[in-house]
Chain A
Amino acid sequence: MLTVDAPRARSYTDRRNELAAASVPDISAALQKMATQVRLSDLEMINRAKLGHIGGDFSVTDILATLYGAVLNVDPADPTAPERDRFILSKGHCAGALYATLAHCGFFPEPELKSFAQNLSALNGHPNRNKVPGVETNTGPLGHGFPIAVGHAIAAKLQGSPRRTFVVMGDGEMQEGSNWEAAMTASHYQLGNLTAIVDRNRLQQGARTEDTKQLEPFTDKWVAFGFEVREIDGHDYAQLLDALKRPSSTGKPVAVVANTTKGKGVSFMQDRAEWHHKVPSDEQVQEAIKELTR
């Protein structure tokens, strides 16, 4: 099990406290900075490991930055505190983005990122809660995170706890039937403490979602399943902050359909199916760094 980077965890907590009173533009600027660092770390990890899922990592990065930078009630120095908010990355293949985010917050030392996908590393290609602090459940096979989030939200409700549960799914992942089983349960139990986020980048492993198995009318599906639906631009921090911070106004569980771009931030990767898990060449890495830091 990796352990906390204490100085970084302290500065994370201090920064969160500062941002709590900041204006939305100031918070957005801070989140953008954090997201850029996460993307750069992830790029370096994938370049070193010569594997990873860079397209989905970059589409979900702004969601992760917003959650960890301004929304989740978590303490990297006490990652199993019973009253922490829970975050589950159901699209576990985007572990690279999650690891970079967790390291950025101090859940474990950033140099550990160099071990990503190396033999015997704690940082497997998919996250393991028994090795990586901050990971709530071992995901990888799709359609697992949402039911677990529902179970946690039921537990919080039974305990009368105000803690919240967030889960991020890929849009292609919504083809898994287990997610719709979970959606029915969340709605039946009126889990207003649950926020289900879909990283709607419109691409799955090999093709567009709509050409593979159509998801549209997507928000209508969520409405029909009994959710309070918020459709947003998943790279706009003001919209992300609002959609993720604001509690349910109806008592229904919240679904955030975050329209995103796969490979966001790097022009030659954006919205291209092959960057689902393509590894950039050294030249492409340099080009990507230039674009991300521009």
Chain B
Amino acid sequence: MTQAPTKPVTYDCRKAFAQTLIELARRDERIVAVCNDSVGSSNLNGFRDEFPDRLINVGIAEQDLVGVGAGLANGGMIPFVSAAGPFLTGRALEQIKADVAYSNTHVVLCGQSPGMAYGELGPTHHSIEDLAWTRAVAGLKIAVPADPAETESALRWAAANPGPIYLRIGRYPVPSVNPQDVQFQPGRSVTLTDGDDLTIIATGTLVSRALDAARALRSEGVTARVINMASIEPLDTEAVLTAARQTRGVITAEEATTTGGLGAAVANVLVQNQPVPMRILGINREFAPTGTASFLLEHFGLTADGIAAAARDLLRAEHRDGRR
């Protein structure tokens, strides 16, 4: 007997971002927020009310935004530089490269509303290239928290550990997927379900969808291991290689272009060390049509059904080719 699943409670990770930043700022006066007229969209109203001097709004000027962040870090502050993902990483990529990463400064870059969260506003406002762009920059850590608890933990880690990091702060509502005591660590993933048949490595908004796909596959007798890869750089290569050894193939799923994000990072490791069949789910060098964020995720097959279909396809092909 099947039962219609109850709709899980979902959260906007920006709230966890805003609350955690205030808590961090209460305990450490070096913490400042830097934004580009994005007080509202970064949920920084509360921060501004409590720390008016420590919210630096440079106006609509992203190059200045990141440079000012690097200068604040040079002056002993810990800046959380917050702007919509597409503008932060697109407009200011050279500042991210030279002022933050190459200069090796303690700047926390917070890309708000990443992926296709801005839906109908269109591809100019989508941040699906950010992972590819930032992965190309040496020395920059990249984190894509999957839920509020992981967002909070990633922020705390970023405040405490000097060095450049880019955090994606999700806007699209997501259910809680991690254990409540999840501890973000660069280079470490969280295995959410065990499975022997195949592995789904997902990040951000796609993690809960990967879990739903695994549940659907289980009813068909297929067990899927689901790994939440919040740390894109550095990647948890050990978990990736173990999964490739212990299961029959790997699927990656991300709300980003397939040319350079999580899928590319995982493929890079596997193809050189432990080649296995792979499917890379994301957006394949296309600008999205008009649609809500939810519609667009469906449009590009970034759903539980899409992931499950890719899994069946991978296992069928693998069976046909008689690899085992």
Contact = CB atoms under 8 A, between A and B. Distances in A.
B5 interface: no
Contact of B68 (A129, A159, A185): A185
A102 to B, nearest CB: 17
B67 A144 contact: yes
A149 B71 contact: yes
Interface string B52-94: 0110101101011111111111111101000000000000001
Contacts of A147: 63-68, 70-71, 95, 99
Contacts of A148: 67-68, 70-71, 74, 99
B75 A144 contact: no
A266 interface: no
A130 to B, nearest CB: 6
Given A138-B98, A144-B98, A158-B54, A152 B71 contact: yes
A238 interface: no
Interface string A273-293: 000000000000000000000
A130 B98 CA distance: 12
Contacts of A128: 102
Interface in A174-224: 177-178, 181-182, 184-185, 188-189
B296 to A, nearest CB: 32
Contact of A151 (B53, B70, B98, B104): B70
29 contacts: A82-B76, A130-B104, A137-B99, A137-B105, A139-B98, A141-B94, A144-B67, A144-B94, A147-B70, A148-B70, A148-B74, A148-B99, A149-B71, A151-B34, A151-B67, A151-B69, A151-B70, A151-B75, A152-B74, A154-B56, A154-B71, A154-B75, A158-B53, A158-B54, A159-B75, A178-B61, A181-B58, A181-B61, A185-B59
A155 B63 contact: no
Nearest to A151: B71
A146 B72 contact: no
Given A129-B103, A144-B95, A185-B61, A158 B77 contact: yes
A137 B70 contact: yes
A262 interface: no
Interface of A: 82, 86, 128-130, 136-141, 143-144, 146-156, 158-159, 177-178, 181-182, 184-185, 188-189
B32 interface: yes
Nearest to A90: B67
Contacts of A150: 64, 67-68, 71
A32 to B, nearest CB: 31
Given A154-B68, A159-B75, A188-B59, 17 more contacts: A144-B98, A147-B66, A147-B70, A149-B71, A151-B72, A151-B73, A151-B74, A151-B75, A154-B75, A155-B71, A155-B72, A155-B76, A158-B53, A158-B77, A178-B95, A184-B61, A185-B64
List of 4 A-B pairs having minimum Cβ-Cβ separation, nearest first: A151-B71, A147-B67, A155-B75, A181-B64
A95 B253 CA distance: 45
Interface of B: 32, 34, 53-54, 56, 58-59, 61, 63-77, 79, 94-95, 98-99, 102-105
A137 B32 CA distance: 20
Contacts of B34: 151
A177 B11 CA distance: 38
A147 to B, nearest CB: 3
Given A137-B103, A152-B74, A178 B67 contact: yes
Contact of B64 (A130, A136, A139, A182): A182
Contacts of B61: 178, 181, 184-185
Nearest to A188: B59
Contacts of A182: 64, 67-68
Given A138-B103, A185-B58, A185-B59, A86 B67 contact: no
A146 to B, nearest CB: 7
A143 B34 CA distance: 19
Contact of A155 (B65, B74, B98): B74
Contacts of B77: 155, 158
A55 B196 CA distance: 66
Residue of B32, B63, B65, B69 ringed by the most chain A CB atoms within 10 A: B63
A136 B74 contact: yes
A95 to B, nearest CB: 14
Contacts of A143: 63
Nearest to A140: B98
Nearest to B94: A141
Contacts of A159: 75-76
Contacts of B95: 144, 147, 178
